[in-house]
Structures are given as structure tokens and as C-alpha cells.
Amino acid sequence: MRRRDLTLAALAAVAFAAAVSLQILRDGWYPRDDPEQEQILYIRSGPALQRIALSFDALLADVYWIRAIQHYGGDRLSGPGARTKYQLLYPLLDLTTTLDPYFNIAYRFGAIFLSEAYPGGPGRPEQSVALLRKAITAMPDKWQYYHDIGFVYYWRLRDYQAAALWFQRAAAQPNAPNWLTPLAASMLVQGNDRASARFLWQQIAKSEEPWLRRSAERSLLQLQALDQIDQLEAVVHRFPPPAGEQYSWAGLFTRKVLIRQPVDPAGAPYAIDPETGSVRVSEQSPLFPMPEERRRIP
């Protein structure tokens, strides 16, 4: 009987792996731009899916995690579209972490995906916070989740009081790094401070996860770009164009204010608003979109 059970389990695993392989082949053969078809690929109820998965819930969690990455990557690489993009991202992440409540990567990477500003992501920091709160319910002593919520409040929502509170909670957890307490204090004193942001990203850049390190490196470049934009705008407004002309880099070249086109830290030329002289990162830059302005979670 035991041998028979092992045989059945092995056959079930092989069948499940074959189904996953067929789904991957299907994604390569057919376009994924049919919203109605995409919507029916997933069961929305986590508890229902757990019952269907039987003892293969961890394996199925891996499948849904892969689907979440595919959905995020596919929509990010697709052309400009309505803000209905990424609409399956949170449901997929929720299902993944319901099937496997200890799926650390899905929580932390998923939170970054959700909070990423549109069009690089859905721009849904409230969903990011909800996913991380779910992680805390499963693993309440893991300081990284409290830290990540503080990061979302700080970097995406510009709510420095809330960010400080979450950094304090992170500092109170077992094995938390000693830099969290002074970081929380800094948030309370001077929240909108690039020095604090730079320090925070420098700490994240030391993460063991390569994806988090790459995200931190990009954000540090964005901070550098913000410093450069301040300097460029000071020059642009110090030397305004003659009456009747618009702001332009060419005009600044002609007047010998600048000798070359200014580029951001990623090497892409900065854009200048011809009416106001405001300088911004180009939409073609790897640093676009830059961090959003402050807004609060309802």
C-alpha cells in the first residue's frame, strides 16, 4: 500500500509539472493581450485554491509566483496603456502567499513591484503595505517586513511620521540592525531629507538579495539626479531666455551658459520644459519614473 501511495504521489507530481510546462509553452505560442482570457486563468480565492492543491500547495505557490513575475514583467515591457495594467499582480501575490504563508521573496519583491510608480509598476503602495502586513501576521518577529512598510511610507507616500513609526517597530524586533533607531529619529526631525533617503537606500543596497540591491542602486541614482536637477534649474532660471523665446538647452549653448547637453546619472539627456524651464528626467531614461509626490493611503 505504501509503495502504491508513493507511486500515485509521483505520478501526480509528474502530471502537475507537465501542466506547468504546457502553460509555459502556451505563453510562448499565444499572445497575452486578451484581458478576458487572462482573467479566467486564475482562481481568485486563496482558501479554495488551498483545498484544490491538496498537499501540493508549496509547489503551486511557486507556480503562482512565476505567474506574478510574468504578469509584472510582461506589462512593464508592453507599450503605454491604460492604468488597468498590472491588475492581476496583487491577486496573484495574494494567492501565492496564501498557499505558502512563509514565502519571503514573494512578500518582499512583491511589495516592491506593487509600490513601483506607473508605468514601471502599478503605483499601488496601499497594496504593498497590505501584502507586508500579511507577512507580519505570518512572521511577526521578522524586522525586514516592518522596515519595508516604513520604506513604502517614506519613499512612495512621503508620510514621514508613519515611516518613523514603522522603522521604530522594526528596531524593536529580534536581531534588528542598530541603524534603524537613529533612522526613525531622523525621519521625525527632518523627514523630507535626501540625506536620510540616501542612507536608507545604502543600507538596502547591502541586502543579500540581488534584486533588492539593484533596486537600491537605481534609487541612489535617482537621488543623484534630483540633486543635479536642482543645480540645473538654478542655472536655467539664472539665465532666462530673451523675451519671446522659450527655454531650451540650445539657447543656453548659444549664450555659452552650458557647453554640452546635460545627462542624468544613467547617461540619458535631461528634458527641459520650454515654458517654465523646469528640468526633468526623460521618459527614455532608465531612471524614469522618478518617485511620486506625497500621497496618503486612504
Say if residue 158 is in the same domain as residue 273. no
Asked whether the predicted pLDDT for residue 87 surpasses 70, the reply is yes
pLDDT at 205: 82
Query: Hey, what's the torsion of the CAs at 217, 218, 222, 224, to 10 degrees?
Result: 30
Domain membership of residue 247 (yes or no) is yes
Say if residue 205 is in the same domain as residue 267. no
pTM (2 d.p.): 0.60
Say if residue 191 is in the same domain as residue 243. no
Say if residue 173 is in the same domain as residue 250. no
Return the sign of the alpha-carbon dihedral for residues 106, 207, 156, 262: negative
Average pLDDT of the chain to the nearest whole number: 80
Say if residue 68 is in the same domain as residue 208. yes
Mean pLDDT value of segment 21-48: 49
pLDDT at 15: 47
Q: Which residue has the higher pLDDT, 1 or 164?
A: 164
Query: Hey, what's the torsion of the CAs at 96, 102, 106, 107, to 10 degrees?
Result: 110
pLDDT band at residue 173 using 50, 70 and 90 as cut-offs = very high
Domain membership of residue 184 (yes or no) is yes
Asked whether the predicted pLDDT for residue 88 surpasses 50, the reply is yes
Say if residue 47 is in the same domain as residue 108. yes
Domain membership of residue 253 (yes or no) is yes
pLDDT band at residue 92 using 50, 70 and 90 as cut-offs = very high
pLDDT at 195: 77
3-state class of 271 per DSSP?
strand
Rounded distance, CA 247 to CA 249, Å?
A: 7
Say if residue 205 is in the same domain as residue 67. yes
Say if residue 208 is in the same domain as residue 241. no
Give residue-wise pLDDT tens across range 218-260: 889 998 999 999 999 999 999 999 998 999 999 999 999 999 9
Domain membership of residue 292 (yes or no) is no
Secondary structure letter of residue 86 according to DSSP? T
Asked whether the predicted pLDDT for residue 96 surpasses 70, the reply is yes
Query: At a CB cut-off of 8 Å and minimum separation 6, what does 175 contact?
Result: 143
pLDDT band at residue 50 using 50, 70 and 90 as cut-offs = low
Closest to 129 (Cα-Cα) out of 102, 99, 159, 100: 159
Say if residue 142 is in the same domain as residue 276. no
Closest to 157 (Cα-Cα) out of 8, 260, 295: 295
Say if residue 72 is in the same domain as residue 150. yes
pLDDT band at residue 294 using 50, 70 and 90 as cut-offs = very low
Work out how many domains the chain is built from and give that number: 2
pLDDT band at residue 63 using 50, 70 and 90 as cut-offs = confident
Say if residue 128 is in the same domain as residue 100. yes
pLDDT band at residue 80 using 50, 70 and 90 as cut-offs = low
- Determine which of 18-22, 114-118, 143-147, 269-273 has the lowest per-residue pLDDT on average: 18-22
pLDDT band at residue 200 using 50, 70 and 90 as cut-offs = confident
What size, in residues, is the chain? 298
Rounded distance, CA 38 to CA 92, Å?
A: 12
Say if residue 54 is in the same domain as residue 175. yes
Q: Which residue has the higher pLDDT, 118 or 45?
A: 118
Domain membership of residue 152 (yes or no) is yes
Closest to 156 (Cα-Cα) out of 134, 118, 125: 125
Note down the domain range covering 49.
36-214
Closest to 105 (Cα-Cα) out of 204, 211, 215: 211
CATH code (residue 62): 1.25.40
Rounded distance, CA 259 to CA 249, Å?
A: 10
pLDDT at 36: 42
Secondary structure letter of residue 80 according to DSSP? S
